[in-house]
Chain A
C-alpha cells in the first residue's frame, strides 16, 4: 500500500505546486497593476526597457518575419499550383502573418531575447541580495524593476509585430512576384480583397497580450529565484518555457474568441 499512497502524494504535491505558482503569478500581476497606478513613474526607466525589448529586437524580428513570409510563399505556391490558384498565395501569407504568425513568432523571439534576460537579470539581483537592498532603501522593487519592463513589453511587442507583418508580406511579395513569377496585380489585389483592418488590429491586440505574458512570467521567475547561479539558470529556462507554452496555448483561445 505504501508505494500507492506515495505516488498519490507525489501527484497531489505536483498539482498543488503548479496551482500555487499560477496563483503567485496572478498575485504578482495584480500588484504590478497596483504599482503602475502609483505615481511617479520614471520615464527614463521605461525608455531604457523599451530600447532593450523593442529597438534591440528589431533585427531578430525582421529576419524571422522575412523568412517566414518567404518560406510560406514557397510552400503555398506548390500547393496552390495544383488547382491553378497561385495568386491566392499572397493573401494566405498576409492573413497568416497578420492574424497568427506575426504576433506569435514575434513574441516567441522577444521571449527568447528579452524575457530570458529579464529572468536572468532579476534572478541575479535576487541571489546577490540587491532586491533585498532595495527593500531596505524603502524602494519597492516591483515598482522600480518590474513595472517598467511590463509597460515596455506591452507597448513594444505590438510594434515589433507590425514590423514583422510588413516585412513578412514584403518577403512574400518578393518571392512570389520576382522568383515564382506570379502575376503582380492579382497577387496584390487578392491581398487587398482578403485582408481586413480587423485582421491587423486583432493581431496587435494578441501581441500586446503576449507582451504582458512574457514580461510578467519572466519577471516572476527572476524575482523568485533561489539557489545561487544554478538557480538563475533554472529560472531563465523556466521563464522561456512557461512563456512560450502560455503564448502558444493562449493564442488558440484568443483566436477562438476573436474570429
Chain B
C-alpha cells in the first residue's frame, strides 16, 4: 500500500469538516423549511409585548408559520405572519396571542374558521382578533372602579360624617316626627267632615244602581240585534257551499274545466313527453344527450383544463437567469469571461448553458498515426476559440451538485450556499486527462448588491502546466422574464 499524500490527507479532512458543517447547518436550518416559501398574512393587535420576530404561529398546537415582522401602524402593532403554503386559512379565522411555559414565551394561536369558506389571500389581514387577558389592563380597570367607589363613599362620609351631618340627620328625624304628629291631629280635628264624605259616596252608588235598573229593556234590544246578524251570516255560508257543490258536479265553466277528463289526459301527455325527453337526454340519445352523457366530453374538458393549468404553472415556475462573470487572473494578467443562461424549471433543479472566453484559448489535440505506427500529437491553442458550458444541476437544501460539460470538457461542480444564498462557495473539477492534472477551481461569490457579486478564488490550482492562478472579479446575475416566455414557446401576455 502506497503512502497517502499530504494533499489527500488535507482533502479528506476538508471533506469531513465540510460534511459536518453541512450536516449541522442543515439540521439547524431545518426548522422553518417550507415556511420560507409560505405566504404572508397580517394581523393587528393592540399590544404585542413579549412577542418576537420568528415567534411561532400555531393552529391547535401545530406550528404552521412564524412571525416575520412586527411594525407599528397607527399606534397599534401590525404583525406580519408567514404561513406554510400547505395550510389555508379561512377568511373568518381569529388570532390571539398566547403564553406558553414557565418563562412566558409568547406565540400566536390561530383558531380555524368555518370550513368551506373562502381562503385568505396572501397579504390579506385577519379580521378577528381575540383581546388577550392583559393583567395590567385588568388591574388598571379594577383600580379605576375602586377610585369611583372611593369618591362615592368619600362624598357620603362628607355629607353624613362630622357634626353638621349628625345635626342635619337629627333635624330630619325631628321633622318627620312633627309631620306624623300633625297628620294625626288633622284627622282628629276633621273627624266630622270625613264622616259626611263617606255618606256622600254611599249615596252616589245608590244613584248609579237606579240608572242601570231603569234601562234594562234597552240592553235586551241590543242583544236581539246581534242575534239577527249572526243568522244572516249563516245564510251566506250556505250559498257558498252550494257553489262548491256545483263545481264538484261539473256545472259551469270552472266545473267543466275541473271535471273534464280530457284536460287531465292532456296534462298527463305533456308530462309524459317531458319525461321522455329527459330520459333520452339521460340515455345519451340526440345531440344534447350525447353532449351531456358522453364521458369523453367530460374527459376532454378535464384534460384540456388540466393541460392549460399545467402550462400556466409551468410557465410560472419556470425561471431563467442571465449571468456575466469576469475574472482577472493576476498571474496571467488576463481576463476570463463567462456568459451563462440558467434555466430553472423547478425550484431545485436547473440547466446551465454558457460560453467561456479563456485568454489561453481552446486547445485542440490531434493524434495522427501514419502507417509507420508512430503517433504524432499536435496541440493547437486557438486564442479566439470559445469554450462551452452545458450543465445540469440539482439543489439539496444548501448544497448544489452539478455536472456536465465545463469549459468544453467533462466535469462536475459543487456549490455550498450560506447566509441566505448571499455567499456561495464553489468547487469545480473538470478536464480529466491521463497526461495532466485535472483542472480544479475553487472560489467564493459574495453578493454585494442585488445583482452584483464579488468573486475571488484560485483557478486550476493543481495544474502541472503552470496554469495555476488566483483571481478576483465580479459577476452580474439577474432574472429575465422575457427570455422565460420565449423559452416556453408561446408568448403569454403578462
Please list the residues of chain A having a beta carbon within 8 angstroms of any beta carbon in chain B.
Answer: 37, 39-41, 43-44, 47-48, 50-51, 54-55, 58, 159-160, 162-163, 165-166, 192-193, 195-197, 200-201, 204
B14, B24, B461: the one contacting A43 at CB < 8 Å is B461
A40, A41, A47, A196: the one contacting B28 at CB < 8 Å is A196
A51-B6, A192-B30 as given contacts; A197 in contact with B25, CB under 8 Å: yes
Residues of B within 8 A of A197 (CB): 25, 28-29
A41, A44, A55, A200: the one contacting B13 at CB < 8 Å is A55
Q: How far is the CB of B446 from chain A (nearest CB, A)?
A: 13
Q: How far is the CB of A43 from chain B (nearest CB, A)?
A: 6
Main SS at interface, chain B: helix
How far apart are the CA atoms of A102 and B468 in the complex, in Å?
35
- Interface positions of B from 418 to 456, Cβ below 8 Å from A: 418-419
Asked if B31 is an interface residue, CB under 8 A from chain A, the answer is yes
Q: Is the CB of B331 within 8 A of A195?
A: no
Q: How far is the CB of B45 from chain A (nearest CB, A)?
A: 23
Residues of B within 8 A of A166 (CB): 20, 23-24
Q: Is the CB of A163 within 8 A of B16?
A: yes
Q: Nearest 9 A-B pairs (CB), nearest first? A: A159-B17, A39-B331, A50-B10, A166-B20, A162-B21, A51-B6, A55-B13, A55-B9, A47-B6
Beyond the given pairs A40-B331, A165-B24, 6 more chain A to chain B contacts, judged by CB atoms under 8 angstroms and listed by A's residue number, are: A51-B9, A55-B9, A55-B13, A165-B20, A197-B25, A197-B28
How far apart are the CA atoms of A81 and B146 in the complex, in Å?
43
A159-B14, A201-B419 as given contacts; A48 in contact with B468, CB under 8 Å: no
A43-B461, A43-B462, A43-B468 as given contacts; A195 in contact with B28, CB under 8 Å: yes
Most A CB contacts (10 A, CB to CB) among B14, B20, B21 go to B21
How far apart are the CA atoms of A90 and B198 in the complex, in Å?
102
Asked if B330 is an interface residue, CB under 8 A from chain A, the answer is yes
Q: How far is the CB of B329 from chain A (nearest CB, A)?
A: 9
Q: How far is the CB of A208 from chain B (nearest CB, A)?
A: 13
- Interface positions of B from 7 to 52, Cβ below 8 Å from A: 7, 9-10, 13-14, 16-18, 20-21, 23-25, 27-31
A55, A162, A193: the one contacting B10 at CB < 8 Å is A55
Residues of A within 8 A of B461 (CB): 43
A40, A51, A54, A160: the one contacting B468 at CB < 8 Å is A40
Residues of B within 8 A of A165 (CB): 20, 24
Asked if B470 is an interface residue, CB under 8 A from chain A, the answer is yes
Asked if B469 is an interface residue, CB under 8 A from chain A, the answer is yes
Q: Is the CB of A192 within 8 A of B468?
A: no
Tally B residues with Cβ within 8 Å of A.
28
Q: Is the CB of B30 within 8 A of A41?
A: no
How far apart are the CA atoms of A155 and B31 in the complex, in Å?
29
Q: How far is the CB of A36 from chain B (nearest CB, A)?
A: 9
Main SS at interface, chain A: helix
Q: Is the CB of A200 within 8 A of B16?
A: no
A47-B7, A201-B418, A201-B419 as given contacts; A54 in contact with B29, CB under 8 Å: no
Beta-carbon nearest neighbor of B472 in chain A: A37
Q: Is the CB of B470 within 8 A of A192?
A: no
Q: How far is the CB of A188 from chain B (nearest CB, A)?
A: 9
Q: Is the CB of A39 within 8 A of B6?
A: no
Mask, B455-489, CB within 8 Å of A = 1, is 00000011000001110000000000000000000
How far apart are the CA atoms of A50 and B23 in the complex, in Å?
23
Residues of A within 8 A of B29 (CB): 197
Q: How far is the CB of A157 from chain B (nearest CB, A)?
A: 11
Residues of B within 8 A of A44 (CB): 6
Most A CB contacts (10 A, CB to CB) among B18, B27, B28 go to B28
Residues of B within 8 A of A43 (CB): 461-462, 468
Residues of B within 8 A of A193 (CB): 31
A55, A160, A200: the one contacting B24 at CB < 8 Å is A200
Q: Is the CB of A39 within 8 A of B10?
A: no
Q: How far is the CB of A218 from chain B (nearest CB, A)?
A: 20
Beta-carbon nearest neighbor of A199 in chain B: B28
Residues of B within 8 A of A50 (CB): 6, 10, 13
Q: Is the CB of B20 within 8 A of A162?
A: yes
Q: How far is the CB of B305 from chain A (nearest CB, A)?
A: 43
Q: Is the CB of A41 within 8 A of B419?
A: no
A39-B330, A40-B468, A162-B20 as given contacts; A51 in contact with B28, CB under 8 Å: no
Beta-carbon nearest neighbor of A56 in chain B: B9
How far apart are the CA atoms of A84 and B236 in the complex, in Å?
94
Q: How far is the CB of A173 from chain B (nearest CB, A)?
A: 12
Q: Is the CB of A39 within 8 A of B470?
A: yes
Residues of A within 8 A of B462 (CB): 43
Beta-carbon nearest neighbor of A39 in chain B: B331
Mask, B296-330, CB within 8 Å of A = 1, is 00000000000000000000000000000000001
What are some 25 contacts across the A-B interface (CB < 8 A)? A39-B330, A39-B470, A40-B468, A43-B461, A47-B6, A50-B13, A51-B9, A51-B10, A54-B13, A159-B14, A159-B18, A162-B20, A162-B21, A162-B24, A163-B20, A165-B20, A166-B20, A166-B23, A166-B24, A192-B30, A192-B31, A200-B21, A200-B28, A201-B418, A204-B21
Residues of A within 8 A of B24 (CB): 162, 165-166, 200
Q: How far is the CB of B23 from chain A (nearest CB, A)?
A: 8
How far apart are the CA atoms of A154 and B200 in the complex, in Å?
126
Q: Is the CB of A41 within 8 A of B10?
A: no
B10, B17, B418, B468: the one contacting A163 at CB < 8 Å is B17
Residues of B within 8 A of A162 (CB): 17, 20-21, 24
Beta-carbon nearest neighbor of A152 in chain B: B10
How far apart are the CA atoms of A51 and B6 in the complex, in Å?
6
Q: How far is the CB of A204 from chain B (nearest CB, A)?
A: 8
How far apart are the CA atoms of A242 and B39 in the complex, in Å?
53
Q: How far is the CB of A160 from chain B (nearest CB, A)?
A: 8
Q: Is the CB of B13 within 8 A of A192?
A: no
Residues of A within 8 A of B18 (CB): 159
Q: How far is the CB of B444 from chain A (nearest CB, A)?
A: 12
Residues of A within 8 A of B30 (CB): 192
Beta-carbon nearest neighbor of A195 in chain B: B28
- Interface positions of B from 321 to 376, Cβ below 8 Å from A: 330-331
Q: Is the CB of A58 within 8 A of B21?
A: no
How far apart are the CA atoms of A96 and B469 in the complex, in Å?
40
Beta-carbon nearest neighbor of B440 in chain A: A43
Most B CB contacts (10 A, CB to CB) among A58, A193, A200 go to A200
Beta-carbon nearest neighbor of B398 in chain A: A197
How far apart are the CA atoms of A159 and B13 in the complex, in Å?
8
Beta-carbon nearest neighbor of B23 in chain A: A166
Q: Is the CB of B25 within 8 A of A39?
A: no
